[in-house]
Chain A
Amino acid sequence: GDSVTQMEGPVTLSEEAFLTINCTYTATGYPSLFWYVQYPGEGLQLLLKATKADDKGSNKGFEATYRKETTSFHLEKGSVQVSDSAVYFCAAGSSASKIIFGSGTRLSIRP
């Protein structure tokens, strides 16, 4: 069945460091890909998405590119802030169908 695998955490970085969280997927067909973020004590918020190959999703300085050839959707940010500390979930889904989540990566940013 479909699955999403993402980098194990926790990840701890200093403020202004470069961030990469790796994500790969296996799916039949061509799913849409998402990154959701969960801040402490809160629910899931959509951070960015891409719906087809070579699309780049971006939001709040984060970006991820849908790479069909490597079945990847790695999350990157050039300069992280303390406020970026959260759990990040990579996810895949097809139109109106269930979303499959990765296991989540906890990110902590040191001032």
Chain B
Amino acid sequence: EPEVTQTPSHQVTQMGQEVILRCVPISNHLYFYWYRQILGQKVEFLVSFYNNEISEKSEIFDDQFSVERPDGSNFTLKIRSTKLEDSAMYFCASSPGLAGADEQFFGPGTRLTVL
């Protein structure tokens, strides 16, 4: 069964460093998303992406964040200058975007630890 994959599973970085989190969505899906979950808290929406552009973003997704689909398969989240409070589990998701099939399929997550 097709699934969303994410790499790395765990990333440790120093405050102020740039990180890139990578995702491979399900191949025939059209919509892509990033969410984050700070330890013990709820899952929060960051950004959605469709047709090579951001379709919606939350207030969390400030200028330090960017997303890109550099080729036909990868979908990346870049944090330019990490802060301690960016430590969280980051989930990528994709959706076919079809009427009646709007569930999002989540990857296993990347745990980001900022020291």
Binding site for B on A (CB under 8 A): 32, 34, 36, 42-46, 49, 51, 89, 93-104
Which residues on the A side are within 8 Å of B93 (C-beta)? 99
Distance in angstroms between the alpha carbons of A97 and B103 in the assembled complex: 10
Within 8 Å CB of A44, what residues of B?
A: 43, 91, 106, 109
Would you call B105 and A96 a contact (CB within 8 A)?
A: no
The number of chain B residues with a CB under 8 A from chain A is 28
Q: Are B99 and A95 in contact (CB under 8 A)?
A: yes
Which B residues have a C-beta under 8 Å from some C-beta of A? 30-31, 33, 35, 41-45, 48, 50, 55-56, 58, 91, 93, 95, 97, 99-100, 102-109
Residue of B nearest to A104 (CB): B42
Collect the chain A residues with CB atoms within 8 Å of residue B106's CB.
36, 43-46
Contact B31 A96, beta carbon cutoff 8 Å: yes
Closest to A51 in B: B100
- Looking at the assembled complex, report how far the CB atom of B90 sits from the nearest CB atom of chain A, in whole angstroms: 11
Given A99-B45, A100-B45: A94 in contact with B109 (beta carbons within 8 A): no
Nearest-Cβ distance from residue B85 to partner chain A, whole angstroms: 19
How many Å from the CB of B3 to the closest CB on chain A? 10
Contacts of A103 in B (CB 8 A): 41-42
User: By the criterion CB–CB under 8 Å, are A43 and B91 in contact?
Assistant: yes
Interface centre among A32, A98, A100 (most CB of B within 10 A): A98
6 nearest interchain CB pairs? A43-B108, A98-B45, A44-B106, A101-B43, A96-B97, A95-B102
User: What's the Cα separation between A103 and B45 when bound, in Å?
Assistant: 13
Given A42-B108, A104-B42, are A96 and B95 neighbors across the interface (CB < 8 Å)? yes
A46 touches B103 (CB 8 A): yes
Q: Give the residue name and chain of the B residue nearest to A48 (CB).
A: B103
Task: Find out whether the CB atom of A97 lies under 8 angstroms from the CB atom of B42.
Answer: no
